[in-house]
Chain A
Amino acid sequence: MATKFSKETYLYWYELMQLIRQFELMAEEKYKMEGKIRGFFHAYVGQEAIAAGCMTATRAEDLFITAYRDHGLALAKGISADSCMAELYGKATGCAKGKGGSMHFFGKKENFYGGHGIVGAQIGTGTGLAFAEKYRGTDNVVLCYFGDGAARQGILHESFNLAMLWKLPVIYICENNNYAMGTSVERTSNVTDIYKLADAYEMPADMFDGMSAETVHEGISRAVKRAREGGGPTLIEIKTYRYKGHSISDPQKYRTKEEVEEYRSKDPIAQVMHTILENKFATEEDLKVIDERIDAVVNNSVKFAEESPWPDDSEVLKDIYVDQNYPFIVD
């Protein structure tokens, strides 16, 4: 049976998704067991196929912007595990110098624009990133991610309208993991098919399974093609699931263990692994080598974070203005 994609693609997906997952599982342990990571921490575990499929459907120059559940997409865009882990620790070597923490990963060089904590805000900001690409005449596109909960913010509508009016190269990706904290999608609206929100603006829309990197790649590719060719935005609703609670402190009383298990049985990493083994793209031994490589990367990132220095206290008043001579109020 021929596969849809090349051996290299599947192996890339496998390695990337394993990196994201192992990185987060390790970080969660450092948070819970050792208290070395603090603040809000939202895991991407379960949603990795979205990052994987989006990466192979786009180019390095394309921009990503998302909410606070940002570790997976940041790693996918190529921000190093070292600087991501250091950011979680709040160290000076982090991808935001220890100033952002879990919710605010950034990598300008990697075209990763964060990492945003106000639900829905990045829908508008992402639209602006796309405006600039069009204005400058590039054919880059912006992948603008948000949750099912965020889809209920008013800014979505203003952004959709502007993006359609000006045919901006932005792909709105609603990662529908069925919950906004403890609130299921059905409890937030009369319209539970989020992709239908595009209809009011006659925006092209799509909806598909987010547990399969293949499906994500194909769906995103269609929207990317349209955007690159000047066809404007697309709204994509991707059905996904977070295995973990909303954040580390969530007791998860709003869903059943069975529901979580059902999704775990469709695990995106297991799916890709299955394809790889089935088609003899690699042996179990080969995959073990990859796993060991990932383990080393993740373990090193912890070592790197632990050995890195704290930001200097003087950083409190740095990076507030580009203007280096700004006269801060100091009492």
Chain B
Amino acid sequence: MARTIAFREALREAMSEEMRRDERVFLMGEEVAEYNGAYKVSQGMLAEFGPKRVIDTPIAELGFTAVGVGAAQNGLRPVVEFMTWNFAVLALDQILNTASKMLAMSGGQISCPIVFRGGNGSAGQLGAQHSTAFEALYANIPGIKVVSPSNPYDAKGLLKQAIRYEEDPVMFMESEQMYGDKMEVPEEEYYIELGKADVKRAGTDVTIVSFNKMMKVALGAAAELEKEGVSAEVIDLRSIRPLDWQTILESVKKTNRLVIVEEQWPFASVSSEIAYRIQKEGFDYLDAPIRRITAADAPLHYAPNLVAAALPNVERTVKIVKEVMYTKK
């Protein structure tokens, strides 16, 4: 039986189901308990699980992240919420220097099964310090996994998988702008393996790869292109690290053209990595240069027109696709 729920509810169900199953799982973060979540993801969880397992922290990202990392090494399975990933930068030391390296440094003795999650990327006119998309930055780090879902169904299955089955640190990146998105999600439990991209729309002429809320741009562009007789295949990465380049390659073998849409800054971004991998593994299949639409090579400014000019959109994506199709207009 499926019913329609919002993204935030899908995340809540994933956490709650896993917490019911496993005593070792707990949720910690700013405003997660009494306030019911800054974005209401954890609404009602304090009431169900009590203050031992749904824990409000002071504003001390480095400190509570460290507590999570330590607890994960010592037999627990923490879920740590960052109000947004922008604030996780304060805790990067614990993630990069400790969590990601524990297993290596200890010669395989000590692992760190922990999930960090929260909103990521821009969310309107929030200014430079609240608008960074961090997938590429974290994906650069060996020892951790990076997940960035685009819809409630995927989010639930991936988060459940991360909490229950992943023994390594997982960075789970959501979007404040998607928390209200609704979709049919089964009532029965399900899990989605990390590291598997998903073809969200089949097509034959060009492959468009994206993830997180930029999937809306990718799918929007595909719909526009269809009107003009161009059949775009749209792939949702879902996991950034590990990166399922094989699924992209299979698609490119068919379409011979690849366009990537992402909200990262361009330098050493997810698209950079994909472009490298596909030219290496699929050079003979490409009929055009791989192209991308990224965020501008700059912090995001506040003014509405500057936000619009800096972020990928359907129009720019359609234009780039037409360029790789070598169609005029």
**Which residues on A are within 8 Å of B, measured CB to CB?**
38-40, 87, 90-92, 96, 98-101, 103-104, 116-120, 149-150, 152-154, 180-183, 187-189, 253-254, 310-311, 313, 315-317, 320, 328-331
Contacts and interface: CB of A to CB of B under 8 A. Distances in A.
Given A99-B302, A99-B303, A183-B35, A104 B59 contact: no
A219 B293 CA distance: 54
Contacts of B306: 90, 98-99, 311, 313, 315-316
Contacts of A100: 127-128, 301-302
Interface residues of B, number: 42
Given A120-B59, A153-B60, A154-B62, A181 B35 contact: yes
Given A118-B90, A183-B56, A331-B294, A104 B130 contact: no
Contacts of B30: 181, 183
Interface of B: 30-31, 34-35, 38, 56, 58-63, 86-87, 89-90, 124-130, 266-267, 291-294, 296-299, 301-306, 309-310, 320
Which DSSP category, helix, strand, loop or mixed, fits chain A's interface?
Answer: loop
B304 A38 contact: yes
B224 to A, nearest CB: 19
B301 A98 contact: yes
Among A116, A120, A189: residue with most chain B CB under 10 A: A120
Contacts of B305: 90, 310-311, 313
A117 B129 contact: yes
A26 to B, nearest CB: 19
Contacts of B310: 316
B165 to A, nearest CB: 33
Contacts of B320: 331
B301 A316 contact: yes
Contacts of A150: 59
A189 B90 CA distance: 20
A40 B267 CA distance: 28
Contact of A183 (B31, B125, B293): B31
Given A38-B125, A117-B129, A331-B266, A98 B58 contact: no
Given A39-B126, A311-B305, 14 more contacts: A39-B125, A99-B303, A99-B306, A104-B127, A118-B89, A119-B59, A119-B87, A149-B59, A181-B30, A183-B56, A310-B304, A311-B301, A328-B297, A329-B267
B126 A189 contact: no
Given A39-B302, A100-B302, A118 B297 contact: no
Given A104-B127, A154-B60, A180-B59, A331 B35 contact: no
Contacts of A104: 127-129, 302
16 contacts: A39-B302, A40-B127, A92-B303, A99-B302, A100-B128, A101-B127, A103-B126, A149-B58, A152-B58, A182-B34, A187-B34, A187-B56, A313-B306, A316-B309, A317-B297, A329-B266
B124 A182 contact: no
A232 B249 CA distance: 63
Contacts of B126: 39-40, 101, 103
